[in-house]
Structure 1
Amino acid sequence: MKDKRILYVSSEVIPYLPETEISSMSFEAPRMVNSQGGQIRIFMPRFGNINERRHQLHEVIRLSGMNLVINDLDMPLIIKVASIPKERMQVYFIDNEDYFKRKATFTDEDGQLFEDNDERAIFFAKGVIETVKKLNWAPDIIHVHGWLASLLPLYLRNYYGNEPLFKTSKIVTSVYSKGFEDTLDEEMKKKVLFDGLEDDTVEHLNKPNYVNIMKTAIDNSDAIIQGSEEIPQELEEYINKLEKPTLSYKSKEEFGQAYQDFYTQEVLNEKE
């Protein structure tokens, strides 16, 4: 993995949020690449339940200050950064007062999904891409983890389809069992179409449930990793039907070499 550039985009990363399959692998995979001499960048949302003082987050003024248009509203983009102790890895946080100030991640205290989770996902995807553009850092691979990050492949391939920085970037999406019940805002498709995307690119979002949002990510990805031992059967069948390069589930203890081989041989097509 020496000198390879890999961008990790995740809804959860330890130590900033509790340990889950997603937050754990969003830490372990970049740590593995970093230890092999690769270059990594990690992006996640700056949820309000992340303790900024304890984790020493600070705003990056030169990257902040842009407004992103979400459903015809200008939403200020704030970028913060922190370093994971002992790992020499920086994490960039996408922040906005309206979307990420509340002291929770995806649901309220009654377990109900936040009504604006769809807009938060749109904002996160656009915020990551705009920030990477400002960094002028062209990734070889973009690896997406978690449903809140899952609109990034759609936006990168369509809304930012002509962006030269990402011309050769390959997108890998990890599919996990952890999703959500019910659906996001039924107006989600309309909000995405407001950005000028073609209707056939968002056909799954007629019903924006977990499976359909992940299908949208899979459609716009170059390769898939099964992040959980079991994933929804409908997603498993959908992945198999597309015949894209796919890596079966690997535990935290055994993923290292498998991910390296998959990145280089299947995603980048660098056959030995």
Structure 2
Amino acid sequence: MTDKKVLFVASEMIPYLPENEVSSLAYENPRMVNDRGGQIRIFMPRFGNINERRHQLHEVIRLSGMNLVINDMDMPLIIKVASIPKERIQVYFIDNEEYFKRKATFSDEDGNLFPDNDERAIFFAKGVVETVKKLNWSPDIIHVHGWMASMLPLYLKKYYADEPLFADSKIVTSVYNKDFEGTLDKQMIEKVKFDGIAEEDVKSLGNPDFSGVLKVAIDNSDAVVVASDTIPADLDEYLKSVDKPVLPYVSIYEFEDVYEQFYETKVLG
């Protein structure tokens, strides 16, 4: 991985959020690339239940201050940054008072999904791309972990299709086991179409459940990693029909060599 640039975009990540399959691998994966001589950038949402003081988050003024249009509304973009000291790894946080101030990640205390999770995912995707543009950093690989990051492949391939910084970037999506019940807002497809993205490119969002959202990410990725031992049956079937490299599940204890080889031979090869 020497000198390869890898952008990691994650819904959640330890040590900032509780440990689970996504947050653990979203940490171990960039750590592996960093250890093996790659250059990395990591982005995640700045959820309100992340302890800013303990993790020493601070705003990056030169990167903040832009407005992103989400469903015809101007939403201010705030960028914060923190370091994981023992790994010498920096993490960028996408923040906005309206979307990420609340003291929870994806659902309220009764377990109900936040009604604006679809807009939060769109905002996160656009915020990552706009910030990487400001950093003028052109990644060789973009690896997406977690469903709230899953709009990124679509927006890069369609909305930012003419952006030269990403012209040669290869997108990898990790597919995990089902992460939420029910659906996101039924109007999600209309909000995406508002950005000039054609309906045929997002037909899976007609039913924006977990599988529908992930299918859009898969469609717009160059390669896919199965990141859970079991994934929803319909996604398993869907992956059999796609004409792109798919890496079968490998445990977090054995993934390092396998992922590196996949990057070098299937994604970049």
- Shorter-chain TM band: over 0.9
Q: Which runs of 5+ in 2 are unaligned?
A: none
Within 2, Cα distance between the matches of 1:76 and 1:43? 17
1:244, CA displacement in angstroms?
Answer: 1.2
Query: Conserved in 1, the CA contact under 8 Å of 2:178 and 2:210?
Result: no
Kindly indicate whether residue 87 of structure 2 is the aligned counterpart of residue 87 of structure 1. yes
Normalised to the residue count of structure 2, the TM-score between the two structures is 0.99
1:252, CA displacement in angstroms?
Answer: 1.2
Show the counterpart of 1:173: 173
Show the counterpart of 1:228: 228
Show the counterpart of 2:216: 216
Within 1, Cα distance between the matches of 2:104 and 2:211? 23
Show the counterpart of 1:36: 36
1:104, CA displacement in angstroms?
Answer: 0.1
Alignment deviations for residues 71-109 of structure 1 (CA, whole Å, 9 cap, x no partner)? 000000000000012101000000000000000000000
Within 2, Cα distance between the matches of 1:134 and 1:89? 19
SS in 2 for 1:243: coil
1:13-24 map, 5 Å: 13-24=13-24
Letter in 2 for 1:201: D
SS in 1 for 2:15: coil
Within 2, Cα distance between the matches of 1:241 and 1:71? 32
Q: Say how many residue pairs are matched.
A: 269
Alignment deviations for residues 150-203 of structure 1 (CA, whole Å, 9 cap, x no partner)? 000000000000100000000000000042111110110000000011111111
Letter in 2 for 1:192: V
Identity %: 70
SS in 2 for 1:86: helix
Kindly indicate whether residue 242 of structure 2 is the aligned counterpart of residue 246 of structure 1. no
Letter in 2 for 1:182: G
SS in 1 for 2:87: coil
Within 2, Cα distance between the matches of 1:199 and 1:251? 37
Alignment deviations for residues 204-250 of structure 1 (CA, whole Å, 9 cap, x no partner)? 11110000000000000000000000000100110111131011111
Within 1, Cα distance between the matches of 2:26 and 2:105? 16
Show the counterpart of 1:55: 55
Within 1, Cα distance between the matches of 2:45 and 2:137? 19
Within 2, Cα distance between the matches of 1:217 and 1:179? 15
Kindly indicate whether residue 163 of structure 2 is the aligned counterpart of residue 195 of structure 1. no
Within 1, Cα distance between the matches of 2:98 and 2:143? 27
Show the counterpart of 2:138: 138
SS in 2 for 1:128: helix
Normalised to the residue count of structure 1, the TM-score between the two structures is 0.98
SS in 1 for 2:240: helix
Show the counterpart of 1:68: 68
Runs of 4+ in 1 over 3 A off after TM superposition: none
Q: Which runs of 5+ in 1 are unaligned?
A: none
Q: CA RMSD in A?
A: 0.5
Within 1, Cα distance between the matches of 2:105 and 2:74? 22
Within 1, Cα distance between the matches of 2:33 and 2:131? 21
SS in 1 for 2:37: coil
